[in-house]
């Protein structure tokens, strides 16, 4: 078990944790190397307005995720792409389940990638954007 953080600084000092600075060049490689993405958030007005971009990044790399059931996460994260967790017990349960079951992780990752391609890709949105611009 190893926790890898990117761009979060090096506040977490543990033998099982590794921190890296964020760069545009390294981001894609780090995302692709993850087995599980995490997106813990408090439930407050600020986070309820967030767009869920971190989940979309994980999904575009074929990485299943565990996230707080807050804001846009509720629409993006489905049970075939990851797990919701609120309490410490739920986080531990979700992490343990996905860490121990690589087949489920791979299946969820493939589902997550398909979800992004079908709902958030350039191919999906370019025609809609072009139509909106033509209608102006």
- DSSP secondary structure, 44-96, as one string: SHHHHT---HHHHHHHHTT--EEE-S-TTHHHH--TTTEEE--SHHHHHHHHH
* Residue-wise pLDDT tens digits, 2-18: 777 777 666 667 777 77
CATH of domain 37-134: 3.40.50.2000
pLDDT at 62 over 70: yes
Over residues 118-132, the mean pLDDT reads 92
* Residue-wise pLDDT tens digits, 28-42: 888 888 999 999 999
CA torsion, points 84, 82, 126, 27, in degrees to nearest 10? 100
pLDDT computed for residue 10 by the predictor:
65
pLDDT computed for residue 57 by the predictor:
94
- Per-domain residue ranges for the chain? 1-33, 37-134
Q: 135: which DSSP letter? A: T
């Amino acid at each position: 078990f190893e926790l890898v953080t990117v761009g979060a600084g090096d506040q977490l000092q543990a033998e099982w944790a590794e921190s890296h600075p964020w760069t545009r060049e390294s981001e894609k490689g780090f995302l692709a190397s993850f087995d599980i993405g995490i997106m813990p958030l408090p439930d407050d007005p600020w986070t309820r307005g967030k767009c869920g971009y971190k989940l979309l990044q994980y999904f575009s790399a074929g990485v299943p995720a565990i996230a707080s059931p807050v804001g846009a996460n509720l629409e993006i994260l489905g049970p075939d792409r990851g797990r919701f967790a609120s309490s410490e017990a739920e986080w531990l349960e979700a992490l343990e389940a996905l860490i121990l079951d690589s087949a489920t992780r791979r299946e969820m990752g493939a589902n997550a990638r398909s979800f992004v391609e079908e709902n958030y890709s350039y191919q999906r949105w370019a025609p809609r954007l072009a139509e909106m611009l033509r209608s102006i």
